[in-house]
Structure 1
């Protein structure tokens, strides 16, 4: 049973997120210097390499991949579009769902993900095929739906068969008010994944806040040991765990993150 204090913090978190500015978030985290494709040690290329390495094994594939808490970003499913028939994006905020929709409909003013797609194609040795991959992404992403990871069925009222893989980036630690809520949210999203399916997760290490426009949003500070323990307790076998330390020149005043983790885990 959720206690009243936790419920109040969740409500406050939801209210604060209504002030979330997708464009400010994209500017802070998905433009240079954090998305500098000429620097191998920039954080965004590192994240893209993590996903590309997981999918290059050919082990993670199937009918449906569900991306939980997509925010206004699409980079996390670039590699996935070659291995799944259907990708479903999801987010709590309508503003983020609208931002994704703009790109999917190729509307003027949509955020430009082409440098990210080109980088992934270069990793695959297919630099000249980036436009084909971009089109494949638009065809494979079949839906952008509402989700609430605090609910036992996060994508209700949408009805889904158990999915083959779940990806989630910077979601759980950002929207949960405490570790107890984070573990419950992880259990909620795990209920959507078939046994033997894969969880791909990226998250912030040692972060207590970040900025998205005029709003300052609280984050649950977590470390590597905690992440491993929480994921294992939720019924997974961790296959890959990588960490990235944020260099001083990428600490640009939009958060206090110390590093980033990437994990690939299989549901037991």
Structure 2
């Protein structure tokens, strides 16, 4: 537990706004081409949720951080979105966006881009309102507990989403695998899991916080999913180009995974 305790202590210095500016402003959030990392992530999510295969009553986003972009394509297919994060500052950042408080991070370019690539021609403001209406619960979570939300979720979620969380809060591969298994307990058998994460990253900065990351490769992702009882349906990867290596981290790439939890019909 010493590694986890040290990690938790470091996260007390996490600055949500610095994290957002580092990762979701230019140059990474350049929407002129899908060669940039943010449009690539949004395309993966739009393509996967656009099949209509992943749907239901509840989707849980594990370790939402201060971001909502990962929920934009998912929100059309669920009655309720449950956001979660370990840090109170991130949960409050999400609540401020849901309320429409002034001074929150401007997600409108992301929403406009998702509406464009989904191709339904809807006004982006409609999607923004829909996500705000469906983002009904923002809960504390600890993926290193066997009950990550503190108590069993009933009924369990139809789908699980997690973006750049598990590798950032796990000191080693065993902890990463356990965290994924714990998160999977929130999902019903036969439910879908959609994961985004970093490849080959050892640190990132968020204001005064310099935070360690477990460097993963695709093999690590495959083994952890299998060990947590998932059948891998899709695994894509993105190599971070030199122009996007801005010094706020040492990430080499990004993975996108879609998997199905065993035990369904």
TM-score of the two chains, using structure 2 as the length reference: 0.97
| Cα root mean square deviation, aligned | 1.0
Residue-by-residue CA offset, 1:54-76 (whole Å, 9 max, x unaligned):
11110000000000000000001
Task: Find 2:38's aligned residue among 25, 39, 44.
Answer: 44
Task: Find 1:238's aligned residue among 232, 235, 247.
Answer: 232
User: Structure 2 vs 1, CA of residues 159 and 234 (structure 1 numbering), >3 Å: closer, same or farther?
Assistant: closer
User: How many corresponding residue pairs?
Assistant: 262
Q: Distance in 2 between matches of 1:62 and 1:128?
A: 22
Deviation, 1:214, is: 1.2
Task: Find 1:214's aligned residue among 208, 211, 215.
Answer: 208
Does the 8 Å contact 1:68/1:167 carry over to 2? Answer: yes
Corresponding residue of 1:201 = 195
Task: Find 1:13's aligned residue among 1, 7, 11.
Answer: 7
Does the 8 Å contact 2:160/2:194 carry over to 1? Answer: yes
Instruction: Establish whether residue 169 from structure 1 lines up as the match of residue 163 from structure 2.
Output: yes
Deviation, 1:157, is: 4.5
Task: Find 1:251's aligned residue among 240, 245, 254.
Answer: 245
Does the 8 Å contact 1:205/1:259 carry over to 2? Answer: yes
Deviation, 1:127, is: 4.3
TM-score of the two chains, using structure 1 as the length reference: 0.96
- Give the 5 Å matches for 1:98-247: 98-157=92-151, 159-247=153-241
Equivalent position SS for 1:155: coil
Mean CA deviation greater in 127-136 or 11-20 = 127-136
Residue-by-residue CA offset, 1:107-156 (whole Å, 9 max, x unaligned):
00011111111111001113442111110000111111100001111111
Does the 8 Å contact 1:118/1:127 carry over to 2? Answer: no
Which stretches of structure 1, 4 residues or more, deviate above 6 A after TM superposition?
Answer: none
Corresponding residue of 1:97 = 91
Corresponding residue of 1:60 = 54
Mean CA deviation greater in 149-158 or 214-223 = 149-158
Residue-by-residue CA offset, 1:15-62 (whole Å, 9 max, x unaligned):
100100000000000011000011221100000000000111100000
Corresponding residue of 1:4 = none
User: Structure 2 vs 1, CA of residues 160 and 114 (structure 1 numbering), >3 Å: closer, same or farther?
Assistant: farther
Equivalent position SS for 2:159: strand
Where structure 1 has 5 or more consecutive residues not aligned to the other structure, the ranges are 1-6
Corresponding residue of 2:28 = 34
Q: Distance in 2 between matches of 1:127 and 1:248?
A: 34
